Structure 1
Amino acid sequence: MWAENGICELTPNSEIQNRIHALKKEMAEADIHFSIIMGNVDLFYFSGTAQRGLLVVPLEGDPLLLVERDQDRARRESPLPVTPISSQRDVGSILAERGILRGRGAMELDILPVSTYNRLLGILGVDSCTDLSPLVRAVRMIKSEFEITQMKRSGEIMDAVFFRAGEVIKEGMREIDVEAELTAEGRRHGHQGLLRMRGFNAEMMCLYVISGQAGTIPTAVDVTIAGLGVTPALPQGSSFKVIQRDQAIILDYGAGYNGYITDETRAFVIGTISEKFERSHEVAREIIEETAVFAREGTESTRIFEHALSRARDAGLEEHFMGYGKGKVSFVGHGLGLELNEMPVITPRHPQILKEGMVFALEPKFVFPGEGSIGVEADFIVRKERLERITSHPLDLFRL
């Protein structure tokens, strides 16, 4: 097997066929006759490989995997037949010969550069293509048991790093030193090395170690607790700040296995923290535990947000919930999968009925200007009768 050479398990042919079938169903409902997929994540999802090329899915007929580089590796990784191309210029003639360029086409317009889109239109000889991305995100939102297995293995990496954190964090260490130790721990357990997000300028570190006032600094990144970072070029993440006693320490970690991401947060303290921080952490933990009791397939996602906000309001913490002032974010959870910002989003603005197979992170957090931040985050699989946690690490406030 290819996996015997040090690579994670390959995506089974049955998975690929089910995904393509689901996409074709969405295409038929949207009156789309052929789709062209080029984004690495979507290409991997629908073909099992992320080698340079594109996947063409006609509404009628078999998909066509066109690979420029590396064709041999693509053949090892994908169960689909590989058609070699020397460059994108070959695509138009190949598709025309097979009669695919008929009717309405679609591409991933939320991630495709305008120059690439325009070049492909010229190659294909078509005037325009509609946006494929909403269909792709809808298909990817429901995870198969194969995908859930990958996410649970990602969760095992998460557990290993959080259990190790209590041994690593020491007074006087810099945030970035803790990050370095724990990032190495994750890699030793098979972390894939990076996280993917969807969107223009979407960037995210694998691990954020944030202590004290560094957890209160707002930035352009749409997260509650971003950290100071080490440079304005990447204004987020761990910094050179020295970890001190009696300050909340936040570890926000994204594990990744075989493409699949888990994302959780834990809070630590060396010594003690104020009653306000203690109470805020307890409210955050209770929000997660209470949500796990009532949410399941059929629950509307806005109910989860409303419950979290109500609990924060009842505790007198609404002003600090999910950020402070202009640093507030409008969600309390987000979908997970091959990307860190998948559907569903747990927000009051976008109602979504939970379905079995959805996976999301719930992250109630609180920010206190000039003092620090605290909170917790846990990942859940939606089941028919319950929410199932992905990891086993406790949601406690850890005292070192």
Structure 2
Amino acid sequence: MFEALARIPEEELKRRRDAVRRHLHVLAPEAGGILVFSRLNIYYLTGTFGQGVLWVPLEGDSVLLIRKGVNRARLEAGIDHILPYKSYSELPGLCADVGSPFTPTLAAVMSGLTWQLGTMLAAKLKDYTLVPGDHAVALARMVKSEFELDILRRCGEKHHHCLYDVLPGRIHPGMTEREIAHKAWEVFFGEGHMGILRMQAHDEEAFLGHVSAGDSGNYPSGFNGPLGLRGEHPASALMGNANKIWREGEPLMLDIGFQLEGYHTDKTQAYFAGAASSIPADIRRAHEFCMELQDWMCAEAGPGVTPETLYVHCVEEAGKRGFADGFMGLDENKVPFVGHGIGLTVDEFPPMAKGFTQPLEQGMVIALEPKQGIRDVAMVGVENTFEITADGCRCISGDRYDMIPVK
């Protein structure tokens, strides 16, 4: 009676599961397969946002076990074995019945389980040894296929159009941050944003993004990013505040993600309340410095370059140029990275940070976000999403990074 709204090609899903197997063989060679629990990773590997567990053996067929939504999974998933279950104790028998038995040692994507459920799983599978398998999936998701890159490129194009071409005509000084946030939503929804941003870090949330006018950009923040914000309320420190007005002479920072067909691009656009000629020298200089760093990273990033190389250069340049104090945030807002991987979540592997020496590869997609806090004034800077190509790096979220004057 029903048809799937969309299906990921089966060859694409097979490529993903095979990539997980290759990484698992290196990272946990004692494991004969991996149990995947998070709904997003189940989607990545099957094509359905299933509630349950996916068993991917190193050899043999994968098995998707669903607590709720078996019929929807059968519409959407590119996998043969889709079975209902009620208890973790049923998993070994169900998988064995379809010819994919558990092995004595099982890897598990442990970040997909709460402590309570993890303890329950260990108790129900007491005859098996469980080892971490999270990184095998993270590494598989890190390198995108042409199927994924096509979505991300379209996402980035819409993203730039919204923030650079359309939104400046919908906002003006005198509006509150909350009013600006609502205008941004109107524009984004009009271009096909699917209404959700997903974060990978435990207990981290995002809704639309950050809308920070003037000194909101340096307001104390618990979000793991450099841009501060007042947010709606202590219970929802996201979007923009109804009592903070964007006033003449103030920068406005919109750090807002776009989501299309499950994939995200990240972009920060800076605006200024007034004519371009009235932008104060310190604000202009700081923003131009951030654009220079982004340009440098784009020129240098490519296969073989490490995330650490990009980060160390930017920190050193900030010190040499007199920007060390507010680079990547002021005081507690300062973060130890200048970018991150991005895809099905905003914050994917790897961060552009010290200690991350695994080289970039063709097909990776990263967000680069050099930002500069100006004490008692604002935060300025840029963020865009970039694709690592065979011979370098290219921006997929626009080609203009200047601060837009709005009167």
Q: TM-score range by the shorter chain?
A: over 0.9
1:341 maps to what in 2? 347
> Partner of 1:376 in structure 2?
382
The amino acid of 1:47's aligned partner reads T
Mark the runs of 5 or more structure 1 residues left unpaired by the alignment: none
CA distance in 2, matches of 1:149, 1:248: 33
* Equivalent-residue separation in structure 2 for 1:295 and 1:25 (angstroms): 26
Tell me the secondary structure at the aligned position of residue 205 of structure 2. Answer: coil
Change in Cα spacing, 1:155 to 1:354, as seen in structure 2 (3 Å) is same
Match of 2:93 in 1: 93
User: How far does the alpha carbon of each residue in 1:183-241 deviate from its partner, in whole angstroms, 9 at most, with x for none?
Assistant: 12212222121111113211112232111111111222111013011211123431121
Instruction: Single out whichever of 190-199 and 256-265 deviates more from structure 2.
Output: 190-199
Opposite residue 381 of structure 1, the aligned amino acid is E
C-alpha displacement of 1:181: 1.4
Aligned positions of 1:263-302 closer than 5 A: 263-271=266-274, 272-302=278-308
Corresponding residue of 1:171 = 173
From 322, 336, 357, the counterpart of 1:330: 336
Rounded Cα–Cα distance in structure 1 between residues aligned with 2:169 and 2:330: 32
- Residue 24 of structure 1 is aligned with which of 21, 24, 29? 21
Deviations, residues 143-194 of structure 1 (Å, cap 9, x unaligned): 1111111111221331232121111121111111111111122122221211
Specify the alignment match of 2:246 in structure 1.
243
- Provide the rounded CA distance (Å) in 2 between the counterparts of 1:361 and 1:296: 13
The amino acid across from 1:146 in the alignment is: F
* CA separation of 1:76 and 1:99: change in aligned 2, threshold 3 A: closer
Is residue 389 of structure 2 the alignment partner of residue 388 of structure 1?
no
- The alignment covers a number of residue pairs equal to 397
Q: For residues 127-142 of structure 1, what are the structure 2 equivalents within 5 Å?
A: 128-142=129-143
**Which moved further from structure 2: 341-350 or 330-339?**
341-350
The alpha-carbon distance between structure 1 residues 260 and 44, as it changes in their structure 2 partners (threshold 3 A), is same
Q: Which amino acid aligns with 1:72?
A: N
Alignment match of 1:12 (pick from 9, 12, 21): 9
Query: What amino acid sits opposite 2:205 in the alignment?
Result: E
> 2: distance between equivalents of 1:76 and 1:127?
32
Same amino acid, percent of matched pairs: 27
Give the secondary structure class of the aligned counterpart of 1:318. coil
Query: 2:188 & 2:129 partners in 1: Cα distance?
Result: 44
1:275-320, CA deviations, whole angstroms, 9 ceiling, x for partnerless residues? 0110010011111112222221111222211222233223211111
Distance in 1 (alpha carbons) for counterparts of 2:240 and 2:358: 34
* Alignment deviations for residues 83-119 of structure 1 (CA, whole Å, 9 cap, x no partner): 2314235324213444622221121212311111222
Q: Give the equivalent residue in structure 2 for 1:216.
A: 218
In the superposition, the TM-score normalised over structure 1's length comes to: 0.94
Counterpart residue number, 2:364:
358
Q: Is the 8 A contact 2:104 2:128 kept in 1?
A: no
Query: What is the match of residue 257 of structure 2?
Result: 254
When the two chains are superposed, the root-mean-square deviation of aligned CA atoms in Å is 1.9
- Matched residue type, 1:121: A
Q: Is the CA contact 1:164–1:182 (under 8 Å) kept in the aligned structure 2?
A: no
How far did 1:362 drift?
0.5
What's the TM-score, normalizing by structure 2?
Answer: 0.93
Q: Name 1:42's counterpart in structure 2.
A: 41
* Residue identity in the other structure for 2:246: I
User: Does structure 2 conserve the Cα–Cα contact (< 8 Å) formed by 1:265 and 1:376?
Assistant: yes
- Cα shift at 1:398: 0.6
- Secondary structure (helix, strand or coil) at the match of 2:308 reads helix
Asked if residue 54 in structure 1 is aligned to residue 61 in structure 2, the reply is no
* C-alpha contact (below 8 Å) 1:111/1:200 kept by paired residues: no
Q: Which amino acid aligns with 1:147?
A: E
Corresponding position of 1:123: 124
| CA–CA separation in structure 2 for the residues paired with 1:51 and 1:337 | 19
Are the counterparts in 2 of residues 111 and 198 from structure 1 also a CA contact under 8 Å?
no
Change over 3 Å in CA distance of 1:217–1:277 after alignment to 2: same
